[in-house]
Structure 1
Amino acid sequence: IMRTEPKHWARAFFPPGANCESVDNNLCESFNNAIIESRFYPIITQQEMIRKKMLVRVQEQRAKGAKWKGKICPSILKKLQ
């Protein structure tokens, strides 16, 4: 059962002027910035460093998400106010 209505998270419900392209671009830039250090290592080491970094990030985001009480995330609430 979905507790959050799709209009809060599904791209199909976003207005045409939403910053979708900007979000995609920022995601790539953030990822590239996060792997700068690992670029100077051999490929296996590089991928292991990226894997570890991603696992830590996922766990941090999961912990933050567990604290949310509302239907939408706090950053969107700030924009709406």
Structure 2
Amino acid sequence: MDEVKSFNQDAHLWLTKIHPKHWSRSHFSGRPVSDVLLSNMCEVFNGKILEGRDKPIISALEYIREYLMRRIVTVLKAIEKWDKLLTPTTHDQFEAIQKEATK
């Protein structure tokens, strides 16, 4: 805060009026505010293992294990091919933002 104060008195005054949990990384809880991402991941996973659900427990677990192994290998192969700093989706989004900003 001393750096902010020396840089800009008004900003320092403004920040002191706001609780640090709203603007300081050290005060963030780290917990997600929304469970949508987790819910979506669960729905996708449940959709993928649908075929294995009606099998006996050992066979169902084996089906899930094989699915996860295939998925991990697929992701690792994609990672090996990618040579950029950001993930492909993030890279594309960043490129679109850059393109829009240069207009």
Q: Alignment partner of 2:40: what SS?
A: helix
Q: Quick one: structure 1 residues 77 and 21, their matched pair in 2 at CA, closer, same or farther if it must change by over 3 Å?
A: farther
Greater relative contact order structure (CA < 8 Å, 6+ sep):
1
| Structure 1 counterpart of 2:44 | 30
| Structure 2 counterpart of 1:71 | 85
Write out the 4+ residue segments of structure 1 that deviate beyond 6 Å after TM superposition.
none
CA-atom RMSD in angstroms: 2.0
Q: After TM superposition, give the deviation of residue 20 of structure 1 in Å.
A: 6.0
In the alignment, the residues of structure 2 paired with residue 75 and residue 20 of structure 1 have an alpha-carbon distance, to the nearest angstrom, of 21
Which of 1 and 2 has greater Rg? 2
Unaligned runs of 5+ residues in structure 2 are: 1-24, 26-31, 97-103
Q: Alignment partner of 2:53: what SS?
A: helix
The one-letter code sitting in structure 2 at the alignment partner of 1:22 is V
In the alignment, the residues of structure 1 paired with residue 34 and residue 93 of structure 2 have an alpha-carbon distance, to the nearest angstrom, of 16
